A and B are shown apart, each in its own frame.
Chain A
Amino acid sequence: MFFNKKPNLTLVPRMPVDQAVPLVVPILNGGDDKEVILSTEVLYNTYRQSLLNYLVGMLPGGKQDALEILHETYIRLLRLDNLDRLRENPRAYIFTVATNLVRDFHRRRANRVDIHVDFDEIDFPSDELTPTRALNWDQSLEQLKQSLMCLPEITRRIFVLSRFDDLTYPEIAHTLDISTRTVERHMSVAFKALQHSLEDFL
């Protein structure tokens, strides 16, 4: 079966037509309820450019790391046995698969030293109507940093105690003589600030 065929690792991950998996999805952003036959290939290729732009800002190795995650995303999509979730909301599902891989990347990275490599720009033709503009890693980090700097003093302090001093909510609550529920609320405010700082490309 074509699922067992090994993808050519030397190529930028663009799914070959003969590996297309027929599936039916609703027309996205359309005004009517007509359904159209699309394939995993078409879906992947539709979001490839915006996915790449999205990934570049989340990974320290820029395009190189982003292309690796993009490739792994493609592999995961090919391996799918159950297409229900892809069918339900293709963009959300494809971006979730990629974001989970980013999460795993950063978890691994926290335990090792990385070498930063800059790669030449690689342009993909874009099929999505409104491709997200790309940030690079340094810009992303700067925006995340600024969002934390702009937090109220107490919120930033709580975030730092949790994130960098690895204290639990009860430990933070005890240190600052506040309730754990208050700690949680401040953490939520901090997360919203982080999200807001990169809102345009999330």
Chain B
Amino acid sequence: MSKSTLNTKVTTAIRAEAADWFAAMKAPDCSAGVKQDFEQWLKSDPLHELAYEQCNALWLMTESLRSDGDIK
């Protein structure tokens, strides 16, 4: 990525990739190869890590909806 086109914010496309990876990493039978691909994706752009951690934060935030009867 050239300096002049450096994105400082997570794009919709990166967010979608992060959601796919986050869903994949929750699978208990996730293979070593998939984990390796994930690590590579995660490290290849600082925005990937940010998007992934945002996804994780949202997941954890929903803990507060656990007792909300409307959702179930």
Looking across the interface, which residue of chain B has its beta carbon closest to that of A32?
Answer: B4
A88, A145, A170, A195: the one within 8 Å of B68 (CB): A145
Are B24 and A184 within 8 A (Cβ)?
A: yes
Q: Distance (Å) between the CB of A109 and the closest chain B CB? A: 8
Q: How far is the CB of A84 from chain B (nearest CB, A)?
A: 10
Q: Is A6 an interface residue (CB 8 A)?
A: no
Q: Which of A49-101 contact B (CB under 8 A)?
A: 58, 60, 85, 88-93, 95-96, 99-100
**A148: chain B residues within 8 A (beta carbon):** 62, 65, 71
Instruction: Say whether A178 faces chain B, with CB atoms less than 8 Å apart.
Output: no
Give Cα distance in the complex from A17 to B58, angstroms: 35
Residue contact B61 to A141, C-beta cutoff 8 Å: yes
A27–B36 Cα distance when bound, in Å, is: 33
CA distance A156 to B72 in the complex (A): 8
Residue of A96, A169, A188, A192 touching B53 (CB-CB under 8 A): A96
Flag if B59 contacts A194 (CB, 8 Å): yes
Asked whether A29 is an interface residue with its Cβ less than 8 Å from the other chain, the reply is: yes
Residues in A neighbouring B53, C-beta threshold 8 A: 96, 99-100, 103
Q: Using a CB-CB cutoff of 8 Å, which residues 28-72 of chain B contact chain A? A: 28-29, 45-47, 49-50, 53-66, 68, 70-72
Q: Which 9 A-B pairs have the closest CB atoms?
A: A106-B60, A92-B46, A26-B3, A188-B23, A191-B19, A91-B8, A187-B23, A89-B46, A99-B53
B-side residues, CB < 8 A to A, are: 2-4, 6-10, 12, 15-16, 18-20, 22-24, 26-29, 45-47, 49-50, 53-66, 68, 70-72
Give 22 A-B contacts (CB < 8 Å), ordered by A residue. A89-B6, A91-B9, A92-B8, A92-B49, A92-B50, A99-B54, A100-B53, A102-B57, A103-B53, A106-B61, A107-B60, A140-B61, A145-B68, A145-B70, A164-B71, A168-B28, A169-B29, A188-B24, A191-B23, A195-B18, A199-B12, A199-B15
